[in-house]
Amino acid sequence: MYKLINKLGLMAVLLGIGLVSCDEDYPKSHIAPYDTELLSIKIVNAGAEGKTMVEGTIDEANKTIGFPRLDVETDFSALNFEAELSEGAELQTPVMDFSMDEETSEKTLILRIVNNNRYKEYFIKVRKRVPVYGADFEKPTVYNFSGDNMYNDYKDAASTRCASYDGEHVLVVSRFTKPHLLKVADLKKGEINPIQLDLTGVTGGTFPYNMGALIDGHIYLSSLSGAKASPFKIYHWETPDSQPETIANISVGDIAGAGNRHGDNASYNIDGNGNGFIFFGDNASTEFMRVPVSNYNTVDAGAIKVLPSNANATMVTNVYRIGNTDQYLWSGVRTPVTLVNESLGGIYTSGIKGEAVAPRIINFNEERYLLVCTAGQGSASTASIALEIYDLSKGATVEEALQKFDEGDNHNPLYQFKLGGSGNGNALAQTDYYIEKDENGKDAKLCVFASRTGSGFVICEFLIKQEEQD
């Protein structure tokens, strides 16, 4: 009996050793027959020459595959995929067509892995590395002196009807105090340090000053002439410290076809050489006086032209030149943004309404924008009083861009800042902009400005749009 027990014990020990040995030799993990596991994947023919390899990222939980953005010169019609798969598995379609039109930057297809009669599918997304242009309107820096933080001169809604901006200063044309400048650098620090203009010789008119503008550091003011017999003057300051010079003293009664009252509005269009036109629409909205300016401070009174207006424009109307072209944008309270020539002859009337006044075309970082300020004229106005920026990048010309915008489905602004305030019969509004450059002379920051009677003013800054990170 002892021998039998002894033999059985020995056999048990040997069996235990054998089992331990088998466990050690057996693989910890394995791929079952006909499995469809995706272990890695890559595109092997990316780039302009089709020689660039790009690794994909697999999200097993969501069954998606993503890749870094591909060069736009890649042949998207025949992307070649190579994958590490379960034994016996293969890509059903190793070459896939991801063709996209010019306006499409990404595309998603279904990738199927097959093994015998089993399969697994993933959503596979391919993106173009499209050059990024324009401004980043998602991350503005705002310096607000409107609404609840209204600049003090605007609190008397009848007295401050004009402001202007050139990147360095804000000009406030106020009957409440006096016309003055504010340094933008001070405003950014929350400091208010008015720089009073020398007003020596600034006299006459129903009001000696009502409208004005900052242009390349030069300062302009114009009077309000309430009747043909009332003096209508334009003043110029070369610098903030200069004494003013009267560059125009216009006898409105001597100009055939001119209306009775001018100076409620003014649109200064003077280029970098100091040449251009100032447009003054009469209060009754019957005509514009187009006043030529040269060398910043010379006005040829004999060359003043009277051009037709439109009652729908009201006195809240502006005409602004498009770059260095001979085309302008004109709009008013009930006159949509309209493309015109220098004689205000209509070229194209857009569908951009909503009391969108002070229209300016901005070209920034290879994109084109429309800047306006909604007026909110009168107590019955339902307009949302705001600075607005629209995308007009599509189209080779401004006319074509306006047409494409009208034909599109999205007519909303890219950016909107509400100035606050209520309907106002004197709802004069202005816009301006300034573009900061980097050390290489390229666009770096877009700065836009809007002012509205009874609301205040705002400066909004936008950096260039950056490419999204993979």
Average pLDDT of the residues in 99-124 = 94
Average pLDDT of the residues in 60-64 = 96
Average pLDDT of the residues in 136-163 = 94
How many distinct structural domains can be found in the chain? 3
Question: Of the candidates 129, 72, 132, which has an alpha carbon nearest to the alpha carbon of residue 393?
Answer: 132
Q: What is the residue-averaged pLDDT of the chain?
A: 92
In a domain, 13, yes or no: no
3-state secondary structure of 171: strand
Residues 252 and 110 placed together within one structural domain of the fold: no
In a domain, 25, yes or no: no
Residues 416 and 385 placed together within one structural domain of the fold: yes
CB under 8 Å to 237, separation ≥6 — which residues? Answer: 197, 198, 218, 219, 220, 243, 244, 245
Neighbours of 113 (CB within 10 A): 21
- Give the chain's length: 470
**Residue 6 — pLDDT band, cuts 50, 70, 90?**
very low
CB under 8 Å to 15, separation ≥6 — which residues? Answer: none
Residues 382 and 338 placed together within one structural domain of the fold: yes
Average pLDDT of the residues in 110-139 = 95
Give the model's pLDDT for residue 87. Answer: 94
Residues 120 and 140 placed together within one structural domain of the fold: no
| Calpha distance 256→300 (Å, rounded) | 16
Give the model's pLDDT for residue 48. Answer: 95
Residues 359 and 435 placed together within one structural domain of the fold: yes
Average pLDDT of the residues in 40-57 = 97
Average pLDDT of the residues in 283-306 = 97
Give the model's pLDDT for residue 423. Answer: 85
> What is the number of helices (H) and of strands (E) in the chain?
3, 34
Give the model's pLDDT for residue 210. Answer: 96
Give the model's pLDDT for residue 7. Answer: 44
Predicted TM-score (pTM) of this structure = 0.81
In a domain, 296, yes or no: yes
- The tens digit of pLDDT for each residue in 320-342 reads 999 999 999 999 999 999 999 99
More confident residue, 377 or 99: 99
Residues 300 and 215 placed together within one structural domain of the fold: yes
More confident residue, 3 or 446: 446
- Residues spanned by the domain of 228: 210-309
**Residue 158 — pLDDT band, cuts 50, 70, 90?**
confident
Give the model's pLDDT for residue 16. Answer: 44
Give the model's pLDDT for residue 361. Answer: 98
Give the model's pLDDT for residue 383. Answer: 85
- The tens digit of pLDDT for each residue in 240-273 reads 999 999 999 999 999 999 999 999 999 999 999 9
In a domain, 20, yes or no: no
Residues 384 and 242 placed together within one structural domain of the fold: no
Residues 80 and 180 placed together within one structural domain of the fold: no
Asked which of 280, 309, 338 is the last residue of a domain, the reply is: 309
Q: Is the pLDDT of residue 378 over 90?
A: no
26-35, 36-45, 80-89, 339-348: range with lowest mean pLDDT? 26-35
In the structure encoding, which two tokens stand for residue 17, read together?
Answer: 């050793």
| Calpha distance 299→277 (Å, rounded) | 9
In a domain, 9, yes or no: no
Asked which of 284, 309, 334 is the last residue of a domain, the reply is: 309
Give the model's pLDDT for residue 4. Answer: 39
Q: Is the pLDDT of residue 15 over 60?
A: no
List, as one string, the DSSP characters of 98-126.
Answer: ----TT--EEEEEEEEEETTEEEEEEEEE
In a domain, 21, yes or no: no
Give the model's pLDDT for residue 29. Answer: 42
Contact 288/319 with Cβ under 8 angstroms?
yes
In a domain, 184, yes or no: yes
Q: Is the pLDDT of residue 30 over 90?
A: no
In a domain, 18, yes or no: no
CB under 8 Å to 403, separation ≥6 — which residues? Answer: 348, 395
Q: Is the pLDDT of residue 5 over 60?
A: no
CATH of the domain at 61: 2.60.40.2340
Asked which of 127, 157, 175 is the last residue of a domain, the reply is: 127
Residues 320 and 291 placed together within one structural domain of the fold: no
Question: Of the candidates 198, 201, 232, which has an alpha carbon nearest to the alpha carbon of residue 304?
Answer: 232
Give the model's pLDDT for residue 232. Answer: 97
Q: Is the pLDDT of residue 14 over 70?
A: no
Give the model's pLDDT for residue 424. Answer: 84
The DSSP call for residue 416 is E
Residues 192 and 284 placed together within one structural domain of the fold: no
Query: Residue with structure tokens 């007519």?
Result: 411
Paired sense of beta strands 298-299 and 443-452, if any: unpaired
Residues 342 and 470 placed together within one structural domain of the fold: yes
**In one letter, which amino acid is 7?**
K
Q: Is the pLDDT of residue 13 over 70?
A: no
Q: Is the pLDDT of residue 367 over 60?
A: yes
Residues 97 and 146 placed together within one structural domain of the fold: no
Q: Is the pLDDT of residue 154 over 50?
A: yes
**Residue 33 — pLDDT band, cuts 50, 70, 90?**
confident
